[in-house]
Chain A
C-alpha cells in the first residue's frame, strides 16, 4: 500500500487505542474494521441516516463524516461502551428492550447514542424534544413510536 500512515491515539469506550491509518480512513471504518467494534453501522456514508452515530467527547456526531486522524486525542464512545461498568445494560438499553424500540437493530446503535446524548443533557425531555434529538437517525422498521416510548421510559426510570 502506497498511502502514508498516520499514528493516532484515541480513547475508545474508556480504553486508550492506537492506530496507524491512512488519512482518508473514516472513523466509522476504523472502529469497525480495525478495532472490530462492529456495533456502529454504515447506512449512507453521506451524513444523513445517522446509523454511524458515536459520541465524540460526550456528544453525538456522525462517524462517517470524520476521518480517524481527526479523532486523535479525543474520546469516543460507541454502543459497545454504553453498558454499565459491570457489563449489564444501561437504563436506556433496557428500556429499548422493554418497549421493543427496535426490530432489525441496524439503526439501533446510532439511535441509542443520540438518545443517550439527549438524556445526558436533558433528563426530562418532552416528546417533541425526543423526536428532535433522534431526528437525524432514520429508521425504516419501527415508525419511531416504540423508540420514543423507550426514551421516555428510560428518562422516567433514571429519575428514580
Chain B
C-alpha cells in the first residue's frame, strides 16, 4: 500500500501523535494504513544479548514487562515519563520511534543504548542503527514504502549495570523541555567499564555522546568527572527555543540533567 500511494498514505499505529495533527488538519493523508491488528508486530522477546519488541507493542505492555525491565531497564524508567496512562495504553513503541520527536523519551533511550530498527518493505528487510535511523526533527531514514517492524534493544551483561532517566517538563506528562538518559556499568572495584548517556530536546534528533562517555570509562564516576562530561555534552548540544523554554534555558537544563542522570545511574549501579 505504501509503495502504491507514496506520500498520500501514512502508517497509523497508536495514533497518539498522528491523530491530534490530523484533527487539527496539519497532516492530511488520503490513506491511513492501520497496522494495529498485525499480531506479528506485537511481541516481546528476551534473548541473550538483546531484547526485541515488535513495533506495535503497546507502551504499557513494555512498561509492565518485568523481564524487559531487568534486561533493558531504561525502557521502564523512560516510559514513566511518557504522557499519561491513556497515552501508553494505546501508543506503541514503534510509533514513538517512527514519530521521531527529538524531545521524546523512547527515541532517546534508543539512541543512548544504540538500539537497532528493523524496517520492512515489499522488497525485504534492513536494519538501521538508531544513530542512522533518526535523521532530523520528526524525520527518520525510513523510506516511503517501509514500515518499522521490530526494535532490537541491546542488553548489557555486567552485573553492576545502573541506569537513570530524568526530564524537565512543565507539567507531568508534557513534552520534555530537556530529557536525559544514562546507563553505566561498574566492575567489582567500582570502576566504570562502560558508559552511555544522551539528551532529548537538545538538538534536531535525540543526542548521544559516545566520545564523552568513553572518557568516563576507567574512572570511578566521581562527581567532578560527571560534571565535566555533562558540561561537554551541553556544549555539543544545539537546543532550540519556544514558548516554554529558551535556548539558554535548555542548554542549562542539558548540563544539569545530564549530570543528574549520570549520578543516578552510577548510584543505581552501585546498588546492583
Interface residues of A (CB under 8 A from B): 23, 26, 45-47, 50, 53, 56, 59-62, 64-67, 69-70, 73, 114, 117-118, 132-133, 135-136
Min CB gap A126→B, angstroms: 15
| Size of the chain B interface, CB-CB below 8 angstroms | 21
B14's nearest neighbour on chain A, judged by CB, is A65
Min CB gap B148→A, angstroms: 19
Interface of A is mostly: mixed
Q: B residues 65-107 with Cβ under 8 Å of A?
A: 83-87, 89-90
Min CB gap A40→B, angstroms: 13
Min CB gap A124→B, angstroms: 17
Min CB gap A136→B, angstroms: 3
A61–B86 contact, CB under 8 A? yes
B37's nearest neighbour on chain A, judged by CB, is A73
Contact with A along B15-26 (1 / 0, CB 8 A): 110011001100
A56–B87 contact, CB under 8 A? no
Given known A-B contacts A53-B86, A56-B89, A135-B172, A70 and B20 have beta carbons under 8 A apart: no
Q: Which of B37, B90, B172 contacts A66 (CB 8 A)?
A: B90
Q: Which of B12, B15, B86 contacts A60 (CB 8 A)?
A: B86
B24–A46 contact, CB under 8 A? yes
What B residues does A136 contact at CB under 8 A? 83-87, 173
A47–B20 contact, CB under 8 A? yes
B34 is an interface residue with CB less than 8 A from chain A = yes
A59–B60 contact, CB under 8 A? yes
Given known A-B contacts A47-B87, A56-B90, A65-B90, A135 and B173 have beta carbons under 8 A apart: yes
**7 closest residue pairs by CB, A with B:** A136-B84, A46-B20, A59-B89, A65-B19, A61-B90, A45-B23, A47-B20
A50, B171: Cα distance in complex, Å: 15
B172–A64 contact, CB under 8 A? no
What B residues does A64 contact at CB under 8 A? 19, 23
B170 is an interface residue with CB less than 8 A from chain A = no
A118, B24: Cα distance in complex, Å: 30
Q: Which of A59, A66, A69 contacts B19 (CB 8 A)?
A: A66
What B residues does A56 contact at CB under 8 A? 89-90
What A residues does B20 contact at CB under 8 A? 45-47, 65
A66–B15 contact, CB under 8 A? yes
A65, B19: Cα distance in complex, Å: 6
Q: B residues 1-51 with Cβ under 8 Å of A?
A: 12, 15-16, 19-20, 23-24, 32, 34, 36-37
Q: Which of B32, B89, B172, B173 contacts A61 (CB 8 A)?
A: B89
B36–A50 contact, CB under 8 A? no
A65–B16 contact, CB under 8 A? yes
B16–A114 contact, CB under 8 A? no
What B residues does A66 contact at CB under 8 A? 15, 19, 90
What A residues does B32 contact at CB under 8 A? 23, 67
Contact with A along B192-203 (1 / 0, CB 8 A): 000000000000
A60, B89: Cα distance in complex, Å: 7
What B residues does A59 contact at CB under 8 A? 60, 89
What B residues does A62 contact at CB under 8 A? 16, 86-87, 90
What B residues does A117 contact at CB under 8 A? 85
Q: B residues 161-181 with Cβ under 8 Å of A?
A: 172-173
What B residues does A23 contact at CB under 8 A? 32
